């Protein structure tokens, strides 16, 4: 399938890895280049208009307007057949403290993007949703028709977008795929997980053997699980990328797709710590801390639907292999994408 007009909105490892796969499979060579070119132009314009503004404040203001401005420029510059949307605030604990930021960034700004798509008659949308829409599971593994009762504002903000999409499909025929991630992790040779303010377990763990952190914090040791710590389902970012391309192709046949993305296996925080010790060959001290608000005890996916409907077959999501791939990348990029201090 030729997709010269597919657009990718959003930073982060999945938002970078999917364009790599799109280009490799010759589905379109202008996706990442278009976004980076427009973003650079937008940053240049903004600096010229606000010459006295400090770097931190400029980044905050630019981020506030980036999706609307970049989307406007991209849609005006050329036609698109589809959009993949990855951009979001993602920290569940933070979302409980400042829910308004999550509703503004994740829900309202996605609506801005969707309205732009409708205006320019872009008919397909692949959305990065989350397992957080389920809340505390009533049964595991979680299937897609499980009740939706998110326990944090992050999950609510994503569920709001899913509800918008259902209405826009009904009213305007917008075809959409909502992919409910469990825990995206791992690395490729070129791409790894490195957030400015890191909150994900595996990269945080690996900071300890890299000498950047003294210990790893375990938030909650009294959950109703086998060792008292939260249990999560991990999926390699390359398998995640493959699922997005299948979803985009699937929207040629299906008007809507709602699918879980996970491995179907659950691992506790303590198990991940032990595996990281094994992979790195280093001791990783832990520090036990109180629970974080909004963290469900167990999240394990059933991915039977996307396997059956789209033929998805994850190749890289053995959890020890996920940690090993991340360790290789972090050893060669100890400061992520930043220059060493």
- Check residue 6 and give left, alpha or beta (phi > 0: left; psi -120 to 50: alpha): beta
pLDDT truncated to tens, each residue of the chain (341 aa)? 333 344 554 445 554 556 565 545 545 544 434 444 444 444 555 456 556 555 444 444 444 455 566 667 777 777 788 889 988 898 888 999 999 999 999 999 899 889 989 999 999 999 999 999 999 999 999 999 999 999 999 999 999 999 999 999 999 999 999 999 999 999 988 888 877 778 889 999 999 999 999 999 999 999 999 999 999 999 999 999 999 999 999 999 999 999 999 999 999 999 999 999 999 999 999 999 999 888 889 999 999 999 999 999 999 889 999 999 999 999 999 888 776 66
Show the tokens assigned to 29: 């060579």
Our CA angle for 182, 188, 193, nearest 5°, is 55
- SS3 for 54-101 is CHHHHHHHHHHHHHHHHHHHHHHHCCCCEEEECCCCCCHHHHHHCHHH
Report the 10 Å Cβ neighbour count for 93.
15
Instruction: Provide the greatest CA pair distance for the chain.
Output: 57
CA distances from 67 to 120, 122, 205, 213 (A): 16, 16, 32, 34
CB 239 within 8 A of CB 179: no
What is the tally of helices (H) and strands (E) in the chain? 12, 12
The single-letter DSSP state of residue 196 is S
Predicted pLDDT at 17: 52
202-212 pLDDT, tens per residue? 999 999 999 99
Q: Hey, is 78 helix, strand or coil?
A: coil
Q: Residue 286 class from Cβ within 10 Å (0-12 exposed, 13-18 middle, 19+ buried)?
A: middle
Domain-by-domain residue ranges, the chain? 6-332
Architecture of domain 6-332 in CATH?
3-Layer(aba) Sandwich (3.40)
Q: Could you identify the residue written with the tokens 């001791």?
A: 283
- The set of catalytic residues is 154
- Partnered with residue 289 across adjacent β-strands are 219
- Residue 264 C-beta-side C-alpha neighbours within 13 Å: 10
Show the tokens assigned to 102: 């999550």
CA distances from 129 to 43, 90, 215, 319, 330 (A): 28, 10, 31, 22, 26
Q: What is the pTM of this model?
A: 0.82
Q: Hey, is 300 helix, strand or coil?
A: coil
146-158 pLDDT, tens per residue? 999 999 999 999 9
């Amino acid at each position: 399938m030729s997709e010269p007009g597919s657009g990718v909105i959003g930073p982060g490892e999945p938002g970078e890895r999917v364009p790599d796969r799109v280009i490799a499979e010759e589905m379109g060579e202008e996706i990442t280049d278009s976004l980076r070119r427009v973003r650079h132009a937008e940053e240049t314009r903004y600096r010229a208009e606000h010459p006295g503004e400090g770097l931190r404040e400029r980044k905050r203001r630019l981020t506030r307007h980036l999706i609307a401005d970049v989307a406007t420029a991209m849609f005006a510059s050329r036609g698109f057949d589809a959009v993949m949307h990855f951009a979001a605030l993602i920290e569940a604990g933070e979302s409980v403290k400042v829910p308004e930021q999550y509703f503004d960034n994740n829900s309202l700004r996605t609506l801005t993007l969707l309205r732009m798509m409708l205006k320019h008659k872009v008919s397909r949308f692949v959305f990065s949703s989350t397992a957080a829409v389920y809340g505390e599971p009533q049964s595991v593994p979680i299937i897609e028709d499980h009740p939706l009762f998110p326990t944090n504002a992050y999950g609510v903000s994503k569920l709001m977008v899913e509800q918008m999409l259902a209405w826009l499909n009904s009213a305007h025929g917008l075809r959409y795929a909502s992919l409910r991630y469990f825990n995206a992790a791992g690395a490729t040779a070129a791409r790894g997980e490195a957030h400015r303010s890191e909150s994900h377990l595996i990269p945080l763990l690996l900071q300890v053997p890299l000498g950047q952190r003294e210990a790893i914090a375990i938030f909650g040791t009294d959950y109703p699980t086998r060792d008292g710590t939260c249990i999560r389902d991990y999926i390699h970012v390359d398998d995640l990328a493959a699922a997005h391309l299948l979803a985009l192709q699937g929207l040629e046949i299906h008007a809507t797709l709602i699918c879980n993305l996970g491995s179907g296996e659950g691992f506790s925080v303590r198990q991940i710590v032990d595996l990281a010790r094994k992979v790195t060959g280093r001791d990783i001290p832990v520090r036990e801390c109180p629970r974080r608000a909004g963290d469900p005890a167990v999240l394990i996916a059933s991915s039977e639907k996307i396997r059956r409907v789209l033929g998805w077959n994850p190749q890289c999501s053995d959890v020890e292999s996920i940690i090993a791939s991340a360790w290789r990348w972090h050893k060669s990029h100890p400061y992520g994408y930043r220059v060493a201090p």
